[in-house]
Structure 1
């Protein structure tokens, strides 16, 4: 049995991942305002404190991070930085800390999004951030020590969120959070590294 830390573990994806992996492993959850532990992924000191508090962890999954959606012609630098500082650098921060504290042979799983390869109107920030996450994982995979692995899950529009985001995702086939969770299981329990698993 492994110990898996799911950051964002009470969100739609995170809760599905916790349920999937919890059938076979010990799962801990963390979030800004909910879960077993509190953390702000934008703050690397907060992440260091989190891993000090959790004790030994074999694997970490990140299923959170803020983004900005809005027309490019109206976008400000501050708005664009929302995704850079939160979803991109927040997940990078997790990996930077986790590489030193995870058990040998452990794994890091990050989350991007379907628009990384299917740009949508109003999503210049999200397209940039999600591609950055996937690029970071490819680059980090060849340098991680001690048999550590890093992968990314790229989910499409979730069935559970379809009504809320339908205006952005016309023509996309929604996928269930349970199906998406199985891709995270593959990242944690599989053998590959530097991969992006698309669930579309």
Structure 2
């Protein structure tokens, strides 16, 4: 398979890239690193990336940002950071990317536990994650040519536990193996329109 992974240099992305690189052709894209550059908050950048790459069998996004802050401190513009990047970035990757997939290809987006189990300072991030879940379930009903669309929603991963544990009191971190397996399920399996949750 020819797989494009956006965000392949991140904590989760590098493990996903490492797995699929063993048996598939993997291309990495990122804002400042990878085989090709892309800013997912800009539709023109997404279109340019796909034009350069050509046909693919799978598109995976493990990227996108959202502002974390106290609810009373979040401005309207702060919310738009997550809307433009993590939400519309992944919507546009799906909207544009479907045209570059071979028949039977797949698109895998990424969210996280905040959609279902938010913590303080995550009003914006949780909102965006929940919106992506609803988008995937609806858009998957209309994709053509056997193209599948899923979203992987992970809990706090063990490799990020020390950095983020104070934000997630009482959350049990998940292994990187479980995290990678969620992406394998989406890319290599037959799931469609699913929120693939791995929270514990």
Shorter chain as denominator, the TM-score bin is over 0.9
**Deviations 1:77-128, CA, capped at 9 Å, x for gaps:** 1111111111011100100111111111000000011011002111100110
Q: Is the 8 Å Cα contact of residues 12 and 177 (structure 1) preserved in structure 2?
A: no
1:43-54 correspondence to structure 2 within 5 Å: 43-54=42-53
SS at match of 1:138: helix
Q: Which residue of 2 aligns with 1:57?
A: 56
- Of the structure 1 ranges 174-183 and 69-78, higher mean CA displacement relative to structure 2 is found in 174-183
Structure 1 residues without counterparts, runs of 5 or longer? none
Runs of 4+ with deviation above 3 angstroms: none
2:146 matches 1:147: yes
**Deviations 1:109-149, CA, capped at 9 Å, x for gaps:** 00011011002111100110000111110001000010000
Q: CA deviation at 1:24?
A: 2.0
Q: Is the 8 Å Cα contact of residues 54 and 100 (structure 2) preserved in structure 1?
A: no
2:134 matches 1:135: yes
SS at match of 1:152: strand
Q: Which residue of 2 aligns with 1:5?
A: 4
TM-score of the superposed pair, with normalisation by structure 1: 0.97
SS at match of 1:185: helix
Q: Which residue of 2 aligns with 1:102?
A: 101
Give the Cα separation in 1 of the matches to 2:18 and 2:192: 23
Give the Cα separation in 1 of the matches to 2:99 and 2:45: 15
Q: Is the 8 Å Cα contact of residues 20 and 178 (structure 1) preserved in structure 2?
A: no
Give the Cα separation in 2 of the matches to 1:188 and 1:21: 10
TM-score of the superposed pair, with normalisation by structure 2: 0.97
SS at match of 1:29: strand
Give the Cα separation in 2 of the matches to 1:179 and 1:36: 26
SS at match of 2:130: helix
2:13 matches 1:14: yes
Computed over aligned residues only, the root mean square deviation of the Cα atoms, in angstroms, reads 0.9
